[in-house]
Structure 1
Amino acid sequence: MKYQATLAKQNHEIDVVDKGDGVYEVTLDGQVHVLDALELSHGAVSLIVDHASYSVEFEDTADGSVNVLVRDQVFSVDVLDERRLRMRAAGGRFAVEGPQMITAPMPGKVVKYLVAVGEEVAEGQGLVVVEAMKMENELKSPKSGVVKEVFAKEGASVESGAKLVVVE
């Protein structure tokens, strides 16, 4: 899965390949790194990146970025997948129309659905929580509408791109 991350006003290209068992091949600005991730009981994540160990904590912010605590330093990181990057570049000049399929951004497990079929949702409202890379990710609605379909069951493993929810 390809991403763009902004850290300290600098953009970085990121490509993530799940190798299984918590191991990921991460290409950051053209440099390949091997990352081993393990979620700790208190919510932090233990990362081994190219044989160096880090304890990392994540906190979602109201503006959609993530505060990352590494070695007593907090970094604000804005991570966008390819679709969200295109939407941001458009500067809100258009509204999302028609049925919208929410898919798994990477392989993981469906932890919990926050909505049910027939429920009205607002743009930006959480729809489903997916655990990937030992972290829980809340996937949000790209538009206001009604939940028309829910695909995978809670607890199910899903592949990258798997259908999760349709909002119409």
Structure 2
Amino acid sequence: MPLLTVEGRKYRLGVITGEDLAWTIPVDERTIALEVLRQPSDESPTLFLRAAGRVISVSVRGNEGQRVYFVEVNGRLLIVDLEEDSPSDRASESTGIDGPALVNSPMAGKIASMKTSVNSKVEEGESLMVLEAMKMQNEIASPRKGTVKELYVKHGDLVKAGDRLCLVS
């Protein structure tokens, strides 16, 4: 599982899901839904995304295979270190994480389908439900391996960004 360090802060990235222009990325205990507005090209190396209603421009400078990248986000230059953490690191950290993980909605939308139920066993990165937003289907992934303890929404519910969706422990 990739470990991203940005300005000294570490973030654990989960399995990126989605297709074409809609991605869902688990980051630590949150799930971020991204809409790709414009892909980078030879003429313009900038990627434009929408996340939580905001447009973000991202340019990356760094060679493939390097750990350190220079990433410009909305004009701000960041130094980003990307590494694969070891299983022993994850094991030691996971034993230090007690308690459930609350999954919140990354954006406003409608629950298009439920892919789990209370007391279901789930794997990290496994789809819990599908959120339809801006006519796009966004998979909401489990932030950790565990059991779905509570569901706060059902098929057809309308949610706002930050609303509770489920609890995984």
Normalised to the residue count of structure 2, the TM-score between the two structures is: 0.49
Which is bigger in relative contact order (C-alpha 8 A, separation at least 6)? 2
